Amino acid sequence: MKGFGNIMKEAQRLQQQMEKMQAEVALKKVEATAGGGMVTVEANGKQEIISVKIDPEVVSKDDVQMLEDLVLAASTEALRKSRELMQQEMGKLTGGMKIPGLGF
């Protein structure tokens, strides 16, 4: 059972490192734009949208659909970048090894 104890210690160490990494990544930010920069969305490493900026030039009551599409596109891209950031950081922690249940 000596080997099992070592495995448990290693798992605890990995869990502590993962918690630290998640806290650090949560503070990082990614940004995405749509419409040539008319809409900018910022997300953090926890896949949360933290800001939306809209160029006043794109605001038109006659074309709300376009503005909605730009916000949706920028939001989707910001969240994709946030997930990619988390995967990169997780890869550093696990040495690129895929661990079931830790996917983001």
Name the helix (H) or strand (E) containing 14.
helix 2-26
Q: How much is the pLDDT for 92?
A: 81
Q: Are 38 and 76 a contacting pair, CB within 8 Å? A: no
Q: Minimal CA–CA distance to 39: which of 50, 51, 54, 29?
A: 54
Pairing state between β 49-54 and 29-34: unpaired
Q: 63-89, pLDDT tens digit by residue?
A: 999 999 999 999 999 999 999 998 888
Task: Give pTM, 2 decimals.
Answer: 0.75
pLDDT < 70 regions, the chain: 1-2, 96-104
Q: How much is the pLDDT for 13?
A: 85
Q: How much is the pLDDT for 31?
A: 97
Q: Which residues does residue 52 pair with via DSSP β-bridges, in sequence order? A: 41
Identify the burial level of 41 via C-beta atoms within 10 angstroms of its C-beta, where 0-12 means exposed, 13-18 middle and 19 or more buried: buried
